[in-house]
Amino acid sequence: MPKYNDISAFHEKLTRSKRILAVCGAGLSAASGLPTFRGAGGLWRNHRATDLATPTAFVKDPGLVWLFYAYRRHMALNATPNAGHFALAALARKNGKFLCLSQNVDNLHPRAGHPSEQIKLLHGSLFDIKCIDLNDEDGEGCGWIQHDNFDDPFCPALAAAAEDVEPDKTLPLLDPDHELAKIPVSEIPKCPQCSNGLQRPGVVWFDESLDGNMLDAIDAWIKQDVVDIVLVIGTSAVVYPAAGYAGQARSGSTSVVTINLEAELPQNLAKLKKNDFAFAGDAAVLLPKLLEPVIGQPRKDGTYCS
């Protein structure tokens, strides 16, 4: 049996594989300079990011929640796709039976040229805008949605989130000792369709369900035929349903390939099964090497020939 981190053995498996599934998390975008906002250091103005990413938090203080997301939009717009994004996009173009599931909301996959029909954005996008009705018990809006809104700042009241500062200086927005003026609800744009709801980020918050049609499509794809390889990239695999897809897609011959900074810790290696691989390191560095037999070598600008 080849060693779990034997790249040559993985290459042999890759070149024989047809159906490949990838499940990506925030660790993939870390090399692009985007914070993960989970685990140690995942605070924003002394707020846990997971406490701001809820419908309840938005109802309580929509201005504060919007500042958090407007800052993330600004960061994502100023980031660039890294070598890992480009490698996955190249794999999609080379292999029509490759499907990528991403928990990332930063729009870096599409910007790397990943074919839209071969990627599912599980948690939505920072650049989609939806309607939410603060007076509705379940928070449901009228169904209005706007795609690809790249306004920065999103609205005048959120201008503080789009400020750039000199290196080695702290943005006032990020300084918890710098008191922020509360943004009135009246300054958050209203839904243009119903005029009752507010516009909110089109991401999936905690306590919200993922799009049912999308989940059904993923389940159908997995059941279609044997999945030869599942790439688990830059994620600790604790948020469901993303965390369950590797197990759902596994058959006797499937190789689950873990690629993240902690992949080779003893407790993680203990979970490996026959045919599995684990590669510890930055996904932006590892993916181009791991996928090279199929996608080739990148051009000088980091992109790949179609």
Contacts of 38 (CB under 8 A, 6+ apart): 26, 49, 50, 236
- Burial level of 121, CB count in 10 A (0-12/13-18/19+)? buried
Q: Look-up: residue for tokens 């080695």?
A: 168
Torsion 159-187-199-243 (CA) sign: positive
The annotation places the binding site for Zn(2+) at 131, 142, 191, 194
Q: Look-up: residue for tokens 């499509």?
A: 217
To the nearest 10 degrees (0 to 180), the angle between helices 283-290 and 83-94 is 30
The residues assigned a catalytic role are 123
Torsion 128-129-135-140 (CA) sign: negative
Classify strands 140-146 and 198-203 as parallel, antiparallel or unpaired.
unpaired
The annotation places the binding site at 131, 142, 191, 194
Q: How far apart are CA 288 and CA 165, in angstroms?
A: 33
